Amino acid sequence: MDFNLKKLTSDAGVFFTRAVQFTEEKLGSAEKTELDAHLENLIARADCTKNWTEKIFRQTEVLLQPNPIDHTGARIEEFFYEKLDKKIPSRTTNGELLGQYMLDAAKDFGPGTPYGSTLITVGEYQSRLGGAEREFLQTSAINFLTPLRNFLEGDWRTISKERRLLENRRLDLDICKARVKKAKQAEAKAAAEPDFQETRPRNYVLSASASALWSEEVDKAEQELRVAQTEFDRQAEVTRLLLEGISSTHVNHLRCLHEFVEAQATYYAQCHQYMQELQKELSSANSDTYPNSFASNAKPSTSATCPSPVSSATLPGVSPPCLASSSTPGIAQEPSGQLKIQDVQQPSTGHRKAKVLYDYDAHDTSELSLLADELITVYTVPGMDPDWLVGERGNQKGKVPVTYLELLS
């Protein structure tokens, strides 16, 4: 107990002395030992690495798990598993959950109905997308987040600890320097006093004794200074070696970054493939359900061109769909002559109403200009390009693009 008390008292004294030295340095009343330029550069580089690594790590967490307190408690659950040093269980993604909901809904609506069968198809692909997302999250967590976390919670803590020790050694060194300086000043003052006390022998003896005492104090302070300098140099070398390891950290994080990008590329490629397959299946299902061209709202081919809309009546946040060039689609033409759009007669059945989604300017006399939100009558004729319909508005008639319309029941 006595030993612990003495140690506690000693530590408190050292802490107080360092605090006084630090305060005086901040106030400019005490000298401060500066680190060499190389070590200062290493420290600045390490601080920069730590700050940006922490920001990248936190933002990557947000990217991979944007809602930390959702209905699954994802991030909170991960936190507890990490603290308990247990493996995080595989968790259902939102995409998989949505797919399951769609499949369950299809059972209630009837899998044989158009809506039910489409829910089944879309639900299966949503489950695939969710599985791809889960694999991407797991791969990114292992290959990218874990190395960054290991640096912040492991290497950086070690560096920070050694830097604190270096700062303490520097404070101790500066305290010893101040002691040596004060002791030498007192010794010089004591040595000068006998010149004024030669007529008083007793004072001369006292001054000589004080000079000897200060000389011993100088020797003791210089010995402590040498020890403090040695400890400071040793700690500076240890800190320097750790800080130089930041270069290896950058190399490691560079490799992890490449793996993260590779995981992203794989994930997005899978999503793109699944969506293309889903679009093909939906297009095929629509063609089987609605054999006429009214159900053909499929996206035009990649060779189509997209005219620029010019009206503010376009729906907010929605860009007009791409439209095939008006030079090729339209009414089928015979080699011997052309079928004029004015000659086309509205069939007795098969026509329906359509709502115009976007403004459209006719490219030639065979087309009909459209205004957003207006209602027109549309129908098709044999040989008509599936991307186009014949539209009528009063006495006006002309070809209209399907992708600009919402076909009404």
CA distance 409 to 372: 19
SS3 50: helix
Residue 219 banded pLDDT, cuts 50, 70, 90: confident
Distance CA 374, CA 359 (A): 10
**Average pLDDT of the residues in 68-80:** 51
DSSP state of 407: E
Report which of 57, 50, 46, 81 is spatially closest to residue 260, judged by C-alpha positions. Answer: 57
The pLDDT-based confidence of 282 (bands split at 50, 70, 90) is confident
Question: Domain residue spans in the chain?
Answer: 31-193+209-289, 351-408
DSSP 285-316: HHHHH--SGGG--PPPPTT-B-PPP--TTSPT
The CATH number of 31-193+209-289, from 3.50.50.60, 1.10.10.10, 1.20.1270.60, 3.30.930.10, is 1.20.1270.60
Where does the pLDDT of residue 325 fall: very low under 50, low under 70, confident under 90, or very high at 90 and above? very low
pTM: 0.58
pLDDT in tens, 98-146: 999 999 999 999 988 889 999 999 999 999 999 999 999 999 999 999 9
Q: Are strands 352-356 and 388-393 parallel, antiparallel or unpaired?
A: unpaired
Query: Is pLDDT larger for residue 184 or for residue 72?
Result: 184
The edge-to-edge listing of strands for the beta sheet with 396-401 is 396-401, 388-393, 375-379, 352-356, 405-407
Mean pLDDT score across all residues of the chain: 78
Domains 31-193+209-289 and 351-408 are alike in CATH topology? no
| Whether residue 241 has pLDDT greater than 80 | yes
Res 352 pLDDT > 90: no
Average pLDDT over residues 90-94: 79
pLDDT over 90, % of the chain: 42
Burial class (CB in 10 A: 0-12, 13-18, 19+), 71: exposed
One DSSP character per residue, 140-189 reads: HIIIIIHHHHHIIIIIHHHHHHHHHHHHHHHHHHHHHHHHHHHHHHHHHH
What fold characterizes domain 351-408? SH3 type barrels. (2.30.30)
What the block records as the tokens of 90 is 């595989």
